[in-house]
Structure 1
Amino acid sequence: MRWPARWGKDGVMGQMERQAEIAGAVTPGSRLNAVSELSALYLLTDRLYRARSQAEVYEAALDAIMGTLSCTRASILLFDEAGMMQFVAWRGLSDHYRNMLRGHSPWRPGDRDPQPIFVSDIDDTSEADWIKETIRNEGICALGFIPLVADGEVVGKFMTYYPDRRSFTASEIELAVTIARQVGFSLERARADARRRAAENDLRESEQRFRVMSENAPVMIWMSDKDGHCLHLNRMLREFWGVSEQGIASFNWAQTTHPEDMPEVGRAIGEAMAERRLCTIVGRYRSALDGAYHVLQTHAQPRLSASGELLGMIGVNIDISERQRADAQRELLLAELNHRVKNTLAVVQAMANQTFRGVAREPRQAFENRLMALAAAHNLLTASNWENAALSDIARDALHAGDAYKDRVDIAGPRVLLPPREALALAMAFHELTTNAVKYGALSNDKGRVSLAWSRADGDSRLLLIDWQESGGPAVEPPNRRGFGSVLLERSLKEDLRGKVELSYRPAGLSCAIELPWPAPA
């Protein structure tokens, strides 16, 4: 909405200039008016100070405006969240008028140093005809726009309305600005109070949510001050230590720590506080549930204020006693299993030696090498608790990358963890391919090379492609019969693992393409 500039003939300065031309002496009547205005301002200040709601602020302001500025109608408007000026309090204005002119303002939200605007006659302005008509139909001729400022920025305005043409005096303008300043201070205080109450409510709700989640969490949650005194222990941790809610403040958790673990626990927490970082600690703590020490894994981090000041620590304890016992039992069983597997392989080897007695050395050696390849794969799986084995480790073991063929073997591919079944099958397949390369293929001379690479299939990430390529060896010819190695590849990879195997006897070197389902994560 466009209004006359404050420097125009109907603006503040024009009015003040005309008033300055009329020099008059102070009269008893003017003294009475001054006393009345001061009294009204005092009353306004008192009511604003005592106001406990926005509505009380608006009522006090409207009483002061209409009581001192000789207007029969007045209103207060504030910018809403969308930046539109909205009527929040008024007297003597129709619904139609307020609906038509809401949103109109000579200032934008956030404008600084706004100046009041006074219009002696709406017909003298360049406003749109519909605006003039709306104002005239409301019985208004002269208007005053006085900005309300909070935190240095315009947040709204109050308006005065007059039925006849009016020349605004300098004292009226000064009085209007004074009232606006008082109301602005009150709005500023009210907004600060509202922000404070909102922050307090948010904090209260946040604390309530935290306590509800903490009390019902399946882990032990705690909070301390910077000196290590407990501020909060959730229900699970209170039961673990046998502490009541009332006894949290005086509880000394350090007394429950195993003497051998206390130095390390104290050092870790102290460093985390000093360096403002997360820490993970494993220690033994005596529980009131059974009187025994339990192994707790603690994840803790410092609590900091908005200014970065250390307030204390907050952490989570997880009882891993049962898990540690289960892990120890599993490791014991795996060690026993590995021992028995090795014993079984040794028995098989002894039986093979007995069976192969009198047979040529080559078949016996081939069988023993297969047993050794199987044992090596077992060792890789045992090292990971029989969960998986890395494809790269299996490939290096089979190709003896660290021995005689180190400089003649290329192994490349992403990290792939194979389940036990796939690991054993590929270990035997790589062993057969390596044995063939050493005896007849690329590794049977001094210059041949072997390349073993794997990747995901293009367009189908569910497939693992393994590519064995030989080069630089003797010329290759297709065999006259299928050997045991070929049978082993087909049986273990095709039938057992639902894969595909393609052997190509190219003169330049043997190639083997293997396609398997991509191993599912454990």
Structure 2
Amino acid sequence: MQQGAMSVAATVLGQRELTDGDIAREQTVLFRLTDRLYRAKAIAEVYDAALDAICDALGSLRASILRFDSQGVMSFVAWRSLSEEYRKAVNGHSPWTRGEHNAEPIYVEDIRCSGESQQLIDTVLAEGIEALAFIPLVSSRELAGKFMVYYPVPHHFTDRERELALTIARQLGFAIERNRAETTAARLSALVESSDDAISATDLEGIITDWNSGAERLYGYSRREIIGRPVISLIPLDRQHEERQILSRIRNGEHVEHFETARLRKDGSLVPISLTVSPIADASGKIVGSSRIARGISERLRAQEQRELLLREMDHRVKNLFAIASTIVNLSASAAETPAALASIVSDRLGALARAHALTMLPSTGHPLQVATSLHALIAAILSPYRRGADERPRFVVNGIDMPVPSAMITPLSLLLNEFATNAAKYGSLSAAAGSVEIACSIRDGAVLIRWREIGGPPPDGTIKEGFGTRLVRAVASQLGRLDRTWDSAGVVIELAIDGQRFSA
């Protein structure tokens, strides 16, 4: 009892003897801590500054900082003068759980009187520790960890020491939270900056506030050029109603799920995009702006158009092949004396048709077909299914100049010739038993001229049926040169003029 009274008296005396110098020293310690925490670039610097302040302010040579790890275990992250054996022995020991919201400091003035297990008491005493304090580190959302201070003899924690401990804990807690926020922000910033998508942000008035590298690539504007400008400057006039609807929904806290639209690039060209818009809220939950993720879909649209073109081409070819097969059967029937002969003639002509059709296949690799052939040979291969009529007279004749056809030209030229032959077999001279085709090849004004003239077919009506085949002819002919179509009394006359330099390439 007398010893307790003396301890209290000593504490009162200690508090009474707190001098201006002591106060100045404490203020210096706290100022230095605040300054170092502000300047810290890494979490290790935060821990180092805090440990210095704890030891200086609380008069101890030993201290530690522990944080909850990913498994929810309170583990050492920084320390002063603690052995590895001790840290392993007490790692994970904590008076609080991660979800604790009202953690209070715990001051143990003599470990022997703490009520802890004898094993833990023996471990602490073996490290040369007799008094210690648990100070919770609390962020704005949760318990982040604790710091501890140790003394080699029993120690009474004065009100002043407790106040200093809580002040340091608050500073350290704020610094840990700031570091975590900055680390998260840096990681998100790196993710945004490295994204191939165009990511931008606006305020609630639609003024652009953020702009990543993906946006620079997609729209053509640098960050310096675009920040501060209204996002509506990227929107075509006929789509500006979209932005009014987007901002209205964002102000209500709604997300705008991805939809396909178009935006203006810096050079004035339109770029098709898929756009998603989400609200941005501040710490209080108030909506302050919008984030926008745009992805260019030009390649996808081109691929979709290519697929549709190929499907239409396949449909067109299948219909044509059935029509041509029917024509071959009808024209062969009159020349065949027996069913077996008819089957042989039809089989031969269908085989020739298959070989000609192979020349018109679009290469799936995107590279030109490497086939060595001449102009006359190519025309003959395309027309081989119609080589002979019912009276065995030739159905077509090819004359004029002959020359090698470059591999890059085989596919488009085969497509055109096949379309000419198909139309002739369905509607023109090759649909009649006595009909024929004359193909003349020449050079005129630096161009290779292929003149296709049909003779002996049904009376020409001088009209062009606008279907996929017509569009295909027009598209392919525009790649090669110029195509003219006229009609005379005998039938259609087609002239295809191809730049002569393409044959020498």
Q: What TM-score comes out, normalization by structure 1 length?
A: 0.45
Q: What TM-score comes out, normalization by structure 2 length?
A: 0.46
